[in-house]
Structure 1
Amino acid sequence: MKNQTIYIKNVVCARCIATVKEILLRHEIPFLKIGLGEAVLKKNLTEDEVDKIRQEFKEVGFELLQDKNEKIVNAIKSIIIEQVYNKDFANTNLSAILSDRLHYDYSHLTNLFSKSEGRSISSFQNSIRIERVKELLEYGELNIAEIADETGYSSAAYLSSSFRKHTGLSPSEYRLKQMKKRISLDSL
């Protein structure tokens, strides 16, 4: 029996992974692992199984991806989200990580991503980082310098200027106004 990897759009958090797991278990589809944007199954799916999980995924806001380029773009997004939320990217080269994990030249990945999404990989990464900053500001547990460190910004000043550029507010103003204007990651 050969393993099959399926790619699922909008699986961007632990709760999403739990939902995919629940759907696969309900349909008695055995899997090895489920991650951001993908699931490794223990067997190939029948057309009937694909149709059933595709429909159920659609009902919860996920999409089963078939096109090779869509799968690559989805993988790029998943890797960036994983990096931002795991604080692993602070001193790493994103282009090297993407090339290494996806086995494509970074220029190919960036062209594919830009063509599909209408913006650069860097722009997407910045959007994810800003949403993470908003989340940490709303929790109120860390100061701006700690949030800068947590999200890979070189300084609190750089975080503040980037945040203001994206939101029109400084992080302190955002926190004081208790804006709570976060954007869900699957819509970025």
Structure 2
Amino acid sequence: MATIKIYIKNMVCDRCKRVVAEELRALGYTVIQVGLGEAELAAKEGEVDLERIREVLQDNGFELLDDRKTKLIEQVKLALIELVHKGEEAELHVNTSDYIAEKVGLDYNYLSNLFSSFEGITIEKYLILQRIERVKELLVYNELSLKEIAYKLGYSSVAHLSNQFKKVTGLTPSHFKQVKTEKRKTIDKVQE
């Protein structure tokens, strides 16, 4: 049987994957696999009602992606989200440009220029914003020291983490931990 891959924006967690799989099955499709930002269906191109899928996805807060460049940008975002929120500590100490190029399978310079032109920020800035959201999450959990958080997220030092945190949030990590007034953002909204 033939397969078709669809790409989906705002699909950034395991719960998202579960919702998408359930909705696609409810529409009568055989779902082969669902990953972050994509789903593979057992179907031929003409057998898939993309407009119906688009409607169902929108009802659940997702967006069906059509354009190749948009799909690439989503792949970059998902790779960075995966790296920061699910990656192993060793992965966070690798060269980001090499990691992205390998994950997406294209030249990093091309992806970087494409990302910046569509998103209005650089890949590096997006990565920083994702890391700061993860720092906030770990601070709220209160299970790790700042030194452990810095190491876990690939910062060279606690000072580097603290400086970057203050630059992005306006608060020091310790002040954030005390007041917790700055609400955390969902990982798909960090640049807004």
**What value does the CA root-mean-square deviation take over the aligned residues?**
1.5
Residues 36-115 of structure 1 correspond to what in structure 2 (within 5 A)?
A: 36-44=36-44, 46=46, 49-88=49-88, 89-115=91-117
Cα drift, residue 19 of structure 1 = 1.1
1:84 aligned counterpart, secondary structure = helix
CA distance in structure 1 between the partners assigned to 2:61 and 2:83 by the alignment: 23
CA deviation string 1:14-49 (max 9, x = no partner): 111111111112112112221111112222354663
Which of 152, 160, 164 matches 2:162? 160
Identity %: 41
In structure 2, how many angstroms separate the alpha carbons of the residues matched to 1:179 and 1:147? 20
Question: Counterpart in 1 of 2:27?
Answer: 27
Inter-partner Cα distance in structure 2 for 1:44 and 1:75: 23
TM-score normalised according to structure 1 size? 0.94
**Cα distance, 1:111 vs. partner?**
0.5
1:163 and 1:169 in contact (8 A); partners too: yes
- Name the amino acid aligned to 2:85: Y
168, 171, 174: which one pairs with 2:173? 171
Separation in 2, partners of 1:100, 1:57: 29
Q: Is the 8 A contact 1:87 1:152 kept in 2?
A: no
Distance 1:141 1:180 in 2: 19
Q: Which amino acid aligns with 2:60?
A: V
Deviation larger for 78-87 or 110-119: 78-87
Aligned to 1:151: 153
Corresponding residue for residue 127 of structure 1: 129
Opposite residue 109 of structure 1, the aligned amino acid is L
| 1:87–1:151 CA contact under 8 A, matched in 2 | no
When the two structures are superposed, what TM-score results if normalisation uses the length of structure 2?
Answer: 0.92
3-state DSSP of counterpart to 1:90:
helix
User: Counterpart of 1:133 in structure 2: which amino acid?
Assistant: V
* Residue aligning to 1:118: 120
Where in structure 2 are there 5+ consecutive unaligned residues? none
* In structure 2, distance between residues paired with 1:51 and 1:180: 38
Q: Distance in 1 between matches of 2:44 and 2:165?
A: 45
Deviates more, 1:88-97 or 1:161-170: 88-97
Alpha-carbon distance in 1 for matches of 2:129, 2:42: 35
